[in-house]
Structure 1
Amino acid sequence: MRQVRVWWRGVVVAATVGLVALVAPGPAFAKDGLDLTAVERLVTDFADQGGYPGIAVAIIKGDQVVHVGGYGRDSSGAAVTATTPMPAASLSKSFTALAVMQLVEAGKVTLDAPVRDYLPDFRIATPQGARITVRQLLNQTSGITDRTLPEKSLPQPDSLAGAVVRARDATLAVEPGTKHVYTNTNYHLAARLVEVVAGEPFAQYLRRQVLEPLGMRASTTIDLTPRDLPENVRAGHIYAYGAAISVSEPKRFVNGSDGIITTAQDLAQWLIVQNNAGKAANGTRLVSAASIAAMHTSSDPRWTYGMGWDTDQEGRVRHNGVWFTYTASQLLLSSGYGIAVIGNSGIGLGNEGTDQLADGLASLVEGDKPSSGAPIRLVIDLTLAGLTLLSLFLGVRNLRRTQTWATRLATRPAWRLALRLLPRLVPLALLVTLPNLLGLLYAGGRDVSYVQLGYYSVALVTWTVVAAAMNLGVLGARTVALLRLRRPTGTTPVPEASTQLVAG
């Protein structure tokens, strides 16, 4: 009888489990079989480790949308969805390149003609600038660099025409066409060229000839941040010590280079054009297959950059985008898949942007196991926090020991004392040169201002400021203490008796 009861209990449990399996929701799949639960897990893991409050994703294959979606929240607390408008940053360069190629196909622009043929106002400080061609702007081989025209540190123009005027102060780092060096200025000039040749504002041309034909009705392009951001675009984030902090993008001119505002849903249509030989999902042809191939391919084996697109080490066509409060990536695979990602947190130490996530999604759609790699922002920020506390502790300790230190060394030659104190200026020198140093060592020679440096890494700036302040304090205190101890003794002190008479 007992065996029967055990058998019956097992039957009931098995039936219950089976019923739950039937009614419980299983893994969600896209129409091509993509496991959307795995996509969500990959995106949310990346977001948690990288400090991204919200991420939008678009995945296409051929001329079909496989998946569009949003994960997490924006800075207002609202859920990020496939229709949440977000800055695409430098993904915008591929839009500008396509607009130029449309004019090339219309016979209005020749790629290897001088830019000055279309922009009579284009003048730079170096005579060789007259030889810069349209292709060289799009290839980023004009010779203009962030070092010869620091576009982020200089006063910001408020229009593409103003950007051309500002470029008159540019010099050339190399001869045009001899080296690829990435700078936003090239694409400011390219967008102005579209504006002049088409006879209408760049934003209007882009809407009429690119965005509307694709059905990208939620997309636009802007001139200046944060002034021109649409009201429905929420502030992005910077990262500090494990926290995502909502801030407005610093003032920057972005049109033509990184001014596109779009959604995951719209970006899916853009990816289809790229992977469908220039033809939209609705059948509209924007450019020829030859133009798409030209944009995706470098025209010179010395570099990998085409026109608004780059090629990675695996031969995949891609471009990333960087604001100080948003990052983005777009990636085209030979299998016909296209992937776009936008995250609402900016680039920083330990975070190169969303390329890692795009690569992980690429592995997922092609049936491979995604890499577990993710930004190590928290590790770096906590390390810098430790250095900040150490600098503070050592500074306070040295200040308290100032008199003892001065008494012990007061009799040494002045030159030796100066040599001992000179290293105290190193943190100040680091603070003063940090934007240039970071641009040269970490960002490939890109320009960054002091304000933007704070967006880039609060923890790094905090450490260098604290270290510089404490060391200057110690330097000043020790110098004063030494001067007092080494003061000439020829002064006759006031006799104590005199003091008593005055007091009495």
Structure 2
Amino acid sequence: MTRLFLVLAALLLATATPAAAAPPLDVDGYVRAYLDHTGLPGAAVAVTHGADVVHVAGYGHDATGAPITASTRLPIASVSKSMTAFAVLQLAEAGRLGLDEPVTRYLPEFRLADPRGARITVRMLLDQTSGMADSAFPDLKLPQPHTLAEAVSRLRDAGLADEPGAQYHYHNPNYEVAARIVEVVAGQPFAEYLRTRLFAPLGMTSSTTVDEPPADLSPGYVRAFGFEVPVSEPDWFTGGSHGVQTTAADLARWLIAQRGGSGVVSPASVALAHTPAPGRQYALGWAAYRPGQLSHTGEWFSHTAAQILLPGGYGVAVLATTGMALDNDAETLAQGLATLLQGGSPDLALPAGVVADRVLAGMILLSVLLAALGVVHARRWAARRAGWWRAGLRLLPCLLPPLVLVLLPDLMSVVFAGREGTFEQILYVWPGLVAWLGSATVCALVVLGARVWALAGGTARLRREESGETTGVVAWDSESV
């Protein structure tokens, strides 16, 4: 009887003890609720704990209508930087390069317009303190290279925003140069190096890296006024800095590798990649922007991604089918999952861009209404303006919307911390803003034309009256209108 009791007790304890990989809360339910609430068309999610996969799945669909699964290959954009950093750390562990050696030791062709560039080290590329920045070299606005070698050679025209090692500037060319170092030191193409030395050992068999968006990439979406609009990714250079395409299943393996037992780099190198220098938040392809978290986000114009490591051993990765915007859908979803995994209750909030577009829609309607009133009352407005010079000053505000529209790329660089883009790229990021400014410009020009026409007509009429060409007509002034 005693033996039977012990057996039954052991069975009860076994069934009452949760498996190590079991999620503490309903991950699947939260993801589905997020998609339903926000209108996110599709996403893929991976959650790990230590060396265990807790949850990996796909949700929704891509822009072709194909369902997103755990094995759907999607771009992870700048999340790729953490993988490039691991490749460099592998070579450093093997003694084939030194993190604090100048880049020119491995790439003699690395020459900037600023001679201080000769002092840039490999580590400065990885922690983004090289001094290179979008403010000194507006990468996105310039003709794009096609290879990593070209990406390095075009930097001959690049200046520096700061002394090497002095300040942090997030700048994609830093990681393009780092990837080129891997190519040269390893003696093989960067994509091949990642495949054989990083992806294959980790079991990431569906992962690859590209130098530009492939032709067979399924379209993603941009959001505009509550609608998800399918778009193709524009042609731009992604090698080394934001070119990896992978799956949720592979990202689960990548998250597990961050716990130090991957075998592709030593635990010491993993810790180095995760640890920012004192006083800084960016380490080597990972950032500590939030207390107790390591993370990195990724943004293409048609897709987004995010990865998070939590102190309790959990890891989260999200790939989303919406692109670069005021906020990153993948990051928002990942942060919600992080809150859930830490025992919190994440809120379901609409993306900031969706809320902003509602405001912009109201402003478009207001612009049209004001323009209609301006046209209707153009003659009255003109009658109250004595002289062309005073009227001209009053017309100047009508030129403000067109001026803002023309200067929009420069103005947006202030919003995005100095990162500059083209007008077409802004249309991807925030089509609602462009639509509002475009409508405001048309409305302003219509009002301007109506007022100038009224001024010209009123002036001609007064001249006819003064010359006696018309009789029996009351002079057109402010009292007769």
Q: In the aligned structure 1, how far is the partner of 2:453 from the partner of 2:147?
A: 53
Residues 348 and 49 of structure 1, relative CA distance in 2, 3 Å threshold: farther
Range with bigger deviation, 48-57 or 303-312: 48-57
Instruction: Name 2:42's counterpart in structure 1.
Output: 54
The offset of 1:215, in angstroms, is 1.1
Distance 1:122 1:477 in 2: 57
Aligned residue number for residue 14 of structure 1: none
- Mapping of 1:196-211 within 5 angstroms? 196-211=184-199
1:472 deviates by 1.9
2:437 aligns with 464
Mapping for residues 378-417 of structure 1, pairs under 5 Å: 378-409=354-385, 412-417=386-391
Whole-Å separation in 1 of the counterparts to 2:294 and 2:80: 15
296, 300, 307: which is aligned to 2:278?
A: 300
Q: Secondary structure at the match of 1:354?
A: helix
In 1, the alpha carbon distance for the partners of 2:39 and 2:132 equals 34
Alignment of 1:48-127 (within 5 A): 48-127=36-115
Are 1:50 and 1:376, in contact at CA under 8 Å, matched by a contact in 2?
Answer: no
The counterpart of 1:335, out of the listed 297, 309, 312, is 312
Deviation of 1:374 (Å): 4.4
Partner of 2:478: none
Matched letter for residue 276 of structure 2: S
Q: Partners of 2:135 and 2:265 in 1: how far apart?
A: 34
Gaps of 5+ in 2: 1-17, 472-481
Change (3 A) 1:436 1:295: same
| Equivalent residues in 2 for 1:418-457, closer than 5 Å | 418-441=392-415, 443-457=416-430
Q: Quick check: 2:222–2:228 contact (8 Å CA) kept in 1?
A: yes
What is the CA–CA distance in structure 2 between the aligned matches of 1:51 and 1:348, rounded to whole Å?
Answer: 15
Share of identical aligned residues, percent?
A: 46
1:140–1:186 contact (8 Å) kept in structure 2: yes
**Relative to structure 2, which stretch is displaced further, 255-264 or 314-323?**
314-323
Please report how far the alpha carbon of residue 399 of structure 1 lies from its aligned counterpart in structure 2 after TM superposition: 2.1
Describe the shift of the 1:449–1:495 C-alpha distance in structure 2 as closer, same or farther (beyond 3 A).
closer
For the pair 1:286 / 2:269, whether they are aligned, the reply is no
Indicate the residue corresponding to 1:499 in structure 2.
none
Give secondary structure in 2 for the equivalent of 1:91.
Answer: helix
Asked whether the equivalents of residues 47 and 53 of structure 2 are also in contact (C-alpha less than 8 Å), the reply is yes
Q: Which amino acid aligns with 1:478?
A: R
- The one-letter code matched in structure 1 to 2:272 is A
Q: Look up the SS of the partner of 1:340 in the other structure.
A: strand
Give 2:454's aligned amino acid: A
Contact 1:56 1:81 in 2 (8 A): yes
Query: How far apart, in 1, do the equivalents of 2:36 and 2:411 lie?
Result: 30
Shift of 1:99: 0.6
Quick one: distance in 1 between partners of 2:276 and 2:124?
Answer: 11
Counterpart residue identity of residue 32, structure 1: A
Determine if contact 2:360/2:433 at 8 Å carries over to the other structure.
Answer: yes
**Relative to structure 1, is the Cα distance of residues 51 and 433 closer, same or farther in structure 2, using a 3 angstrom cutoff?**
farther
Verify the 8 A CA contact 1:224 1:255 in the aligned structure 2.
yes
Matched letter for residue 463 of structure 1: W
- Give a deviation string over 1:28-78, Cα, whole Å, max 9, x none: x97633157x21221122223333201101111111211110111111212
TM-score (norm: length of structure 2): 0.89
Residue 138 (structure 1) aligned to one of 126, 129, 134: 126
SS at match of 1:113: coil
Counterpart of 1:359?
Answer: 335
Quick one: which amino acid aligns to residue 414 of structure 1? Answer: W
CA change 1:347–1:45 in 2 (3 A) is farther
Structure 1: gaps spanning 5 or more residues:
1-28, 497-504
TM-score of the two chains, using structure 1 as the length reference? 0.85
Measure how far apart 1:484 and its partner are. 4.2
8 Å Cα contact 2:21/2:52 also seen in 1: no
Superposition RMSD in Å: 2.1
Q: Does the CA-based 8 Å contact 1:60-1:268 persist in structure 2?
A: yes
Q: Secondary structure at the match of 2:407?
A: helix
**Structure 1 position 348 matched with structure 2 position 322:** no
Aligned to 2:243: 259
For 1:152-167, what aligned pairs fall within 5 Å after superposition? 152-167=140-155
What is the match of residue 459 of structure 2? 486
